[in-house]
Amino acid sequence: MSIINLWYYMNGYIIISIRGSRSERLINLAINQGIILRDIRRFDNIAYMKVDIEGFKKLRPLARRTRCRVKIEKKAGIPFFIYRLTVRRGFVAGAVLFIFLLYLLSSFVWFVEIVGTEDIEPRQVSEISRELGLKPGAFKNTLNLEKISNEIVLRISDISWAGIEITGTRAKVEIVEKVKGEGPGEKGYSHIIASKEGLITDIMVISGMAEAAAGDTVTAGQVLISGILRPDPPEFEAEEEMAPDEGSVRKDYVRARGTVKARVWYEGLGVSTLQVKKYEPTGNYYTSSYIKIGDKEIFTEGDGQNPFDYARLNQSKRTLRWRNFKLPVEVVHLQYNELSLLQKELTPEEALEKAALQAEEEARRQLSSPVEILEEYKEILDTEDEQLIEVRYVIETIEEIGKEKPMVLDN
Amino acid sequence: MNFKKNFRSSLADAFELPKEILLDLPRVTLVGNVQMYVQNHKGVVEYSDNVIRVSISGGELIIKGEDLTIKNIYSEEIFINGLINHLEYAV
């Protein structure tokens, strides 16, 4: 649409048809009167043209004079459109109401989303923001986002920064949690406990009290270096005598530090029988498909039954969905691939090798990567069954087993 | 009359004046065969889809073609759109 057409549209125009053989004369008369006619075309004996509103008024007496019949075919343009709107008031009111409602509803917050929380429950943040006024249904303009985000940071001590961003009707609360510092000087007492079972070979205490000594066998979770400093027993007695009214002795708490090295064993068990069953695909397959509507199954191909003795079933489903709405109709395609059973006899040596390999793999899987391996050995276990061979594989390592565990204090 | 016209023509030649003004001639502009623009016409004589006859001083301009439309018409100017096949100057 060019600019000039837009101009015509704004001023309004009428498409008229003129019947009569002397329409040339009417056109010439109209031009002399200063009436602007556009897009004049003639089919058979009817001429069609466009004329503006003022021109149409002037055209009427001329048409009478030339004995032409002028008929309005179409009225187009903004003046006619406005006139039609004044007639259809209900429609206009509805349109205005719609725009108003759209604006009104989009000026509320409808969704509150909390992102960035790791240890803090998102619900805790959403409850606080709800108290501060940021909740579904809150008016966007009345929210003081800066104040709310500052308040969230103040209320929850583990948050170091909070930012609120409103996009459309969605408020996104971005939380940055405090990284818990564990450097010296940080408040927080802890023990060092064993992370796994082992035999302690070496223990070195930097702070705290050793609870285990080299040569001790410890279980996972046992305290190795305590963060509670108790006075030595002789002093303890003396102190008790000196201050019997105090009830309990004074304890000092520290963050226990030190290294604990231990021998750790990793075991893997491998089992093998002399007869091995093996399935191999033969290449034959049988396909079947059906449409599932609710609980009903309508087969379009085959009957869905497995015709083979041994088969592996491949099932693929296709569901119809539109956005999050899932139609209860699915197309299921089944394919049974036939398998043949191969019985294989193993020699005792082969079976042993297989069991040993399996055991070793299992043992190695348990290793945490950078450890010092001291010794590896395997042993064949006695089983009553001759067909069954069991192998145990042991890896012995020396590694650091100490793990820091924060202490929970009552006061 | 003839003498008057000759005089004007030679006057226009002598002073390099546009002839359409002095001689009351139409000025016809063609854009390919799709658009035509006639200035200084004297009215439409006949028009239809295939033929438009425009009256000019001392004759008629006959335009033949297909889908001919008078795009705009004013007292001095006329715009014609459509496929123009044939243009004839009838005196």
CB A155 within 8 A of CB A132: no
Please say whether the dihedral angle defined by the alpha carbons of residues A380, A382, A385 and A386, taken in this order, is positive or negative. Answer: positive
Band of the pLDDT at B17, cuts 50, 70, 90? confident
Domains of chain A in start order, with CATH, are: 3-83 (3.30.70.260), 108-177 (3.10.20.310), 190-262 (no CATH), 275-345 (no CATH)
pLDDT digits (tens, 9 = 90+) for A334-363: 888 888 887 777 777 888 888 888 888 888
Domain residue limits, chain B: 25-90
- Say yes or no: A39 contacts chain B, CB-CB below 8 A: yes
Identify the three-state secondary structure at position A54. Answer: helix
SS (H, E, C) A133-186: CCCCCEEHHHCCHHHHHHHHHHHCCCEEEEEEEEECCEEEEEEEECCCCCCCCC
The fold for domain B25-90 equals: Immunoglobulin-like (2.60.40)
Q: Which of A32, A42, A49 sits opposite B75 (nearest CB)?
A: A32
In DSSP terms, B47 is beta-bridged to B52
Band of the pLDDT at A50, cuts 50, 70, 90? very high
- Say yes or no: B43 contacts chain A, CB-CB below 8 A: yes
Tell me how crowded residue A149 is: count the other CB atoms within 10 A of its CB. 22
Identify the three-state secondary structure at position A302. Answer: coil
Q: Which of B44, B49, B74 sits opposite A24 (nearest CB)?
A: B44
If you average pLDDT over every residue of chain A, what do you get? 82
pLDDT digits (tens, 9 = 90+) for A131-154: 888 888 888 888 888 888 888 888
Cα A192 from Cα A366, distance rounded (Å): 22
Sheet containing A275-293: order of strands: A296-301, A275-293, A325-345, A311-322
Q: Under an 8 A CB cutoff, do A41 and B73 touch?
A: no
> How far A81 CA sits from the closest chain B CA (Å)?
24
pLDDT at A247 over 50: no
Report in angstroms the alpha-carbon separations of A379 from A273, A340, A357, A359: 17, 35, 12, 10
